Structure 1
Amino acid sequence: MRKVNHRIVELDVREDLKNKMEPFQKIMDAVIGLKENDIFILHAPFKPVPLFTVMKAKGFKHEAEEIEKKHWKVTFTKKGGRNDS
């Protein structure tokens, strides 16, 4: 049986956005090395809908959850070779 190790990368951009800093490059840098079934968890103060299209183009599916007011947790999972979204 093959042992499978999946990476989980977590990033909270709420402070960046509060300080008027654009977090897009930080997000792209965080996901650049992720492989099939690796997970990227993003914490943001709003549902980052425009990011969903960008991440889908990079091969990720997502699940978004509102934790509380001004706190969204979005879990992106890198898809495999097939388009299994």
Structure 2
Amino acid sequence: MIEDEDSDAVGIRDPAKFFTALAIKLELLPPGETDLSDALWTYTMSVVDACATIGDAYGNAGGNAGAHIRAQFFDY
């Protein structure tokens, strides 16, 4: 996985920066690119939501995996 200052025990502080770095690492964007296209961002957030939906079934009264995933990556 990507290692940078935005990924630590507290969580992802800047999802856009995190996913942009991942897209560069996977050669979906050229090095030095600073933003995902609207289409790539929409796709990325759709994948995050699909994963969170799976995680909704796992948890307890204190929360579930889906809620935790959404809290890490969605800007509410």
Relative to the length of structure 2, the TM-score reads 0.30
Higher RCO (CA-CA < 8 Å; seq separation 6+)? 1
Structure with the higher strand share, 1 or 2: 1
Relative to the length of structure 1, the TM-score reads 0.28
